[in-house]
Chains A and B, each alone.
Chain A
Amino acid sequence: MARFLRRSLRRKKGAVRFGNTELDEFEPNALRYKPDHIETLCKSTKFSKKEIQLMYRGFKQECPSGTVNEETFKYIYSRFFPQGDSNAYAHHIFNTFDTDHTGTINFEEFVTALSALSRGDIYDKLRWAFSLYDVNGDGYITKEEMLDVVGSVYMLVGRRASPTGEDTTTKQHVDRIFQRMDINGDGVVTLEEFVELCSNDETIAQSLNLLDTCF
């Protein structure tokens, strides 16, 4: 009933179009996202209840509507990496987290991905890393995609170097890595090649466990 009234009111307002209608029509914020019950989240992820509480409080503080959009991401990253330009990197991370490509990340996606990353096994982590580099999600990492992502990582550091110098360094870095990863030399890196290389490399396998954070 309320919805019908609201719609009819909107139609009437629409009839009188004169001047600043944008200001007249203050549509209420359509979506307020509410996550699943905390028990469900506890069961589906590897976090404890207290940890999820803490995460949700921080999440909701930054995004009162319950969903994160890319702008907030970029802002958060700019706070963590104040010296550099974090926009491109934040964009890539956002796309990696936003698994259903809705343009927003809700708390479940957030917590699920985080659980895989910090409490998951090596395969989960590597798969996530693969999806980070695989920008278009087709299952193959091309050199351009890798260059894109690695370039954005370099931009995080933030230097005022000449652009040409930037490119050659990044390019060489990417060439080197790509060479190592592309085992069969077909110009793209698949998930299997990626996982195999990384799990066999001692330093990489070890480093993957360094980035856990205790709450």
Chain B
Amino acid sequence: MASVAAWLPFARAAAIGWVPIANNPLPAPPIPKDKRRADDEKLVINVSGRRFETWRNTVEKYPDTLLGSNERDFFYDEDTKEYFFDRDPDIFRHILNYYRTGKLHYPKHECLTSYDEELSFFGIIPDVIGDCCYEDYRDRKRENAERLLDDKMSENGEGNLVKLTNLREKMWRAFENPHTSTAALVFYYVTGFFIAVSVLANVVETVECGNLPGKKEPLPCGERYEVVFFCLDTACVMIFTAEYLLRLFAAPDRCKFVRSVMSIIDVVAILPYYIGLGITDNDDVSGAFVTLRVFRVCRIFKFSRHSQGLRILGYTLKSCAKELGFLVFSLAMAIIIFATVMFYAEKKVKGSTFTSIPASFWYTIVTMTTLGYGDMVPSTAMGKLVGGVCSLSGVLVIALPVPVIVSNFSRIYHQSQRTDKRKAQKKARLARIKLAKASSGAAFASKKKASEARLAAQEAGLELDGHKEDDIFEMQHHHLLRCLEKTTNLYHNVENGHEEELREIQIGDLEKSTPTGQHRVHLNAPSGAPLPAEGRQNAGSLATISQLGGGEPSPPAADDNNVTGYMRISTL
């Protein structure tokens, strides 16, 4: 508040504009004591030997910190007439700059914990760190916190897990975190084993197994040991089906589970078997049946539950879809261009393999990826030239987007982490700042009350026992606000309209200070019967009472003490 103290005289002078329209005569200004606060004095702050000097006004800008409040008197050294702090002078420089400029910066070369300690010593909340440095501060803090958490976890082991009584919840937790219990671990390994067995069986059943006694050609193992493989397949599918059903049962949100990628993979892995059971040995559909068996390879994706790396890879591809799309698109462009040129270059050659442009696609792809199978080779000079250019450019076209994708991935990954964190923290951060401001708003309201009391005492001619020096600003500020009230006949503030803000603030804090700061808003009653006291208390609804003639003076403030309402929290 005091950061704009120098502008108060200006605001008060400008208030002359209210005088012609004032409804009521303006109140007398506060009488400052004879001891004028003549000059702003300089404070000397000695931090471990390094002397800092600043105006008193500067440090009093933030009265809720150590330097700005009378807490600094604890550190006053009478002999040397300075304030001595046995703290780090390098960090203190930043803290003093906060008072001077209003922005708190975080020096990157300082250790986070020591900086935090200094901030908490001087009573400054880290949330006022400016936007330029806040990012960095938060990142470091997160790293620190993670490191601490890791250390703690490796110490404790898995000691304190929430005791879940519900069978369903227990099962779900067992499925998601296999380390939680032995049964879960067993289940985890069993399913992993069966996935491996199933995939292996799928692979092996196509290998040639040697001859049956009566046949000429070697048979694949799948047809020779048909029963064995069928039993194996059945067993695996039984296990997978059971697992899927159990997961479905345990899932807290079934619809979400059914839509998730892993469950789709599960379904695709086991469905071919059931469809195959349903299909008879009809020749028409056996072709389709064979195709279905291809889908059995999806079982290998079930491993992604077991492997974190696979999951990260999947996420990478998903998040880099745009870049991958660009790669594919640029490749497609290049392929089409070169295939076209190649086709027209080799068109005249007799017996050329470049029969059409789509046929040339194959050549272009093989050349650009530097595979070079050699099944299609250009014979004309022009064709060879184009082929050369194609292979050279292939290297470039493929090599260029890949680092971009890699760096993109890294950037996107970190950025999304940071953005989400920042969004989540921003809300919390703003809420904390609001809370701090609200408490200062409460202090403001209480000071207003005190100044009104002082004015009443002054008017009644009572002797006041000593203002503090720094009250003059407050007195004059409150006098200005009272002038505004008198001009407009509207009095600060309070109540029902602001309950939603109040909900956020702890009720405990309110109860501490409800006795002091109550104010009301009410319009001036018409010259008829004044509203009864209770009615006035409920005037928070701000009934529009028309104002007749020259307004009456407002009812005395004595009623305020009876109102046990809420306190108005100023919205700064």
Could you tell me which A residues sit within 8 Å of B by CB distance?
50, 54-55, 57-59, 61-62, 76-83, 93, 96, 110, 113-114, 117-118, 125, 128-129, 132-133, 146, 149-150, 153-154, 156-162, 164-165, 168-169, 172-174, 176-177, 181, 194, 197-198, 203-204, 206-208, 210-215
* Least Cβ–Cβ distance between A36 and chain B, in angstroms: 19
Given A58-B6, A159-B490, residue A211 in contact with residue B481 (CB < 8 A): no
In chain A, what residue has the closest Cβ to B477? A80
* Least Cβ–Cβ distance between B39 and chain A, in angstroms: 7
Partner of B547, one of A59, A113, A172, A198: A172
Give the distance in Å from the alpha carbon of A172 to the alpha carbon of B550 in the complex: 11
Contact call A129/B568, Cβ cutoff below 8 A: no
Contact call A153/B6, Cβ cutoff below 8 A: no
Q: Which residues on A sit within 8 Å (CB–CB) of B23?
A: 173
Q: Flag whether B274 is at the interface (Cβ < 8 A).
A: no
28 residue pairs bridging A and B, Cβ less than 8 Å apart = A54-B40, A55-B6, A80-B477, A82-B441, A82-B572, A110-B10, A117-B16, A128-B16, A128-B17, A146-B21, A149-B17, A153-B21, A153-B488, A154-B488, A154-B490, A156-B488, A164-B544, A168-B546, A172-B547, A173-B23, A174-B21, A176-B549, A176-B550, A207-B22, A210-B29, A211-B19, A211-B26, A214-B36
Contact call A213/B8, Cβ cutoff below 8 A: yes
In chain B, what residue has the closest Cβ to A157? B490
Contact call B25/A207, Cβ cutoff below 8 A: yes
Give the distance in Å from the alpha carbon of A114 to the alpha carbon of B13 in the complex: 7
Contact call B572/A194, Cβ cutoff below 8 A: no
Q: Which residues on B sit within 8 Å (CB–CB) of A93?
A: 14, 17
Q: Which residues on A sit within 8 Å (CB–CB) of B8?
A: 80, 213
Contacting A at CB under 8 A, from B38-68, are 39-40
Q: Which residues on B sit within 8 Å (CB–CB) of A150?
A: 21
Q: Which residues on B sit within 8 Å (CB–CB) of A78?
A: 572
Contact call A177/B16, Cβ cutoff below 8 A: no
Contact call A81/B484, Cβ cutoff below 8 A: yes
Contact call B13/A76, Cβ cutoff below 8 A: no
Q: Flag whether B538 is at the interface (Cβ < 8 A).
A: no
- A146, A164, A181, A207: which has the most chain B beta carbons within 10 Å? A207
Q: Which residues on B sit within 8 Å (CB–CB) of A110?
A: 10
Partner of B4, one of A79, A117, A133, A161: A79
Contacting A at CB under 8 A, from B507-554, are 521, 523, 542, 544, 546-547, 549-550
Q: Flag whether B373 is at the interface (Cβ < 8 A).
A: no
Contact call A82/B570, Cβ cutoff below 8 A: yes
Given A172-B547, A173-B23, A177-B20, residue A165 in contact with residue B493 (CB < 8 A): no
* Least Cβ–Cβ distance between A182 and chain B, in angstroms: 13
Contact call A117/B13, Cβ cutoff below 8 A: yes
Could you tell me which B residues sit within 8 Å of A by CB distance?
1, 3-23, 25-29, 32, 36, 39-40, 441, 444, 476-477, 480-481, 483-485, 487-488, 490, 492-493, 497-498, 521, 523, 542, 544, 546-547, 549-550, 568, 570-572
Contact call A83/B493, Cβ cutoff below 8 A: yes
Contact call A162/B544, Cβ cutoff below 8 A: yes
Given A172-B546, A210-B26, residue A80 in contact with residue B483 (CB < 8 A): no
Give the distance in Å from the alpha carbon of A80 to the alpha carbon of B521 in the complex: 19
Partner of A213, one of B9, B21, B542: B9
Q: Which residues on B sit within 8 Å (CB–CB) of A173?
A: 21, 23, 488, 547
In chain A, what residue has the closest Cβ to B480? A80
Give the distance in Å from the alpha carbon of A93 to the alpha carbon of B7 in the complex: 13
Q: Which residues on A sit within 8 Å (CB–CB) of B483?
A: 210-211
Contact call A211/B16, Cβ cutoff below 8 A: yes
Give the distance in Å from the alpha carbon of A116 to the alpha carbon of B508 in the complex: 49
* Least Cβ–Cβ distance between A140 and chain B, in angstroms: 15
In chain A, what residue has the closest Cβ to B1? A79
Partner of B17, one of A118, A133, A181: A133
Q: Which residues on B sit within 8 Å (CB–CB) of A161?
A: 542, 544
* Least Cβ–Cβ distance between B540 and chain A, in angstroms: 9
Give the distance in Å from the alpha carbon of A153 to the alpha carbon of B9 in the complex: 18
Given A57-B6, A61-B6, A210-B29, residue A158 in contact with residue B17 (CB < 8 A): no
Q: Which residues on B sit within 8 Å (CB–CB) of A118?
A: 9, 12-13
Q: Which residues on A sit within 8 Å (CB–CB) of B542?
A: 159-162, 165
Contact call B15/A211, Cβ cutoff below 8 A: yes
Give the distance in Å from the alpha carbon of A194 to the alpha carbon of B480 in the complex: 24
In chain B, what residue has the closest Cβ to A124? B16
In chain A, what residue has the closest Cβ to B472? A214
Given A54-B6, A117-B14, residue A157 in contact with residue B20 (CB < 8 A): no
Give the distance in Å from the alpha carbon of A174 to the alpha carbon of B547 in the complex: 12
Partner of A153, one of B5, B484, B492: B484
Contact call B19/A81, Cβ cutoff below 8 A: no
Given A54-B40, A133-B17, residue A77 in contact with residue B10 (CB < 8 A): no
